Structure 1
């Protein structure tokens, strides 16, 4: 029986599941792995969920401080994107996003494939930074 050298992990309980998605064949490179840029776009979407809620309005991505691809994402993977705020500023929210894959052949077992730290700023309709609402 073949063994997988990558151990499965539990999803973190201190983070919120903000997105779950299955990549499509159009998202693959010629080797059958999912384009890193596609994963980055999904991380940006997932990362924006909590800051949007906190800002109660428009936000913009202003920084990607870290982006680590730990394992390839493959066609057939089910991706779970979990996020948690790590810093609240006057106008900005920094979040940590972790991405876990359930491989097609091992559903219910997760491996971390990507992690990132992104900062979003609350903006006005004119695109200017604005203070975050007071948090209760």
Structure 2
């Protein structure tokens, strides 16, 4: 018997869930990649803010690749997994999943590595208290 998990599943914790709406489509009728990226940034910010116990700012997004289009009406779920917490920065993998229109099976849409930095009320970098 193999230990390989044949059912795909997200890594990390659910940080954001929303519905893809018609106003968020590109010229081909699929959900616009920029909208999806903004949802990922919001999900990462929610997670990073919890880790940093306060305000954070996005400083980098690495390694994005879109695997499948997102249809209007899809429930878009963003999962976050904290990779590393530094002195003032937090690296997070954000995965996006939807359910298939046909059989409701989970489908991974994309993932990306986001880097956030903790900032103070003046917008300056601050140390994360761990």
TM-score, structure 2 normalization: 0.90
Asked if residue 117 in structure 1 is aligned to residue 117 in structure 2, the reply is no
Which of 58, 63, 68 pairs up with 1:61? 58
> For the aligned residues, what is the CA RMSD?
1.4
Asked if residue 22 in structure 1 is aligned to residue 19 in structure 2, the reply is yes
Asked whether the equivalents of residues 78 and 103 of structure 1 are also in contact (C-alpha less than 8 Å), the reply is: no
Which of 35, 39, 44 pairs up with 2:36? 39
Which of 87, 96, 101 pairs up with 1:99? 96
Segments of 4+ moved more than 3 angstroms: none
In structure 2, C-alpha distance between the alignment counterparts of 1:115 and 1:54, rounded to whole Å: 20
| Structure 1 gap segments, 5+ residues each | 1-7
| Structure 2 gap segments, 5+ residues each | 1-5
TM-score, structure 1 normalization: 0.86
Q: What is the CA deviation profile of residues 82-128 of structure 1, one whole-angstrom value per residue up to 9, with x for unaligned ones? A: 11101111000000011011133332x11111100000000011110
Asked if residue 130 in structure 1 is aligned to residue 126 in structure 2, the reply is yes
Asked whether the equivalents of residues 66 and 118 of structure 1 are also in contact (C-alpha less than 8 Å), the reply is: no
In structure 2, C-alpha distance between the alignment counterparts of 1:106 and 1:132, rounded to whole Å: 44
In structure 2, C-alpha distance between the alignment counterparts of 1:66 and 1:57, rounded to whole Å: 26
In structure 1, C-alpha distance between the alignment counterparts of 2:114 and 2:107, rounded to whole Å: 21
Please say which of residues 48-57 and 87-96 is displaced more in the overlay: 48-57
| Gap change, CA 1:72 and 1:9, over 3 Å in 2 | farther
**Pairwise CA distance, 1:9:** 4.4
Asked if residue 11 in structure 1 is aligned to residue 44 in structure 2, the reply is no
| Gap change, CA 1:15 and 1:106, over 3 Å in 2 | same
**Pairwise CA distance, 1:11:** 2.1
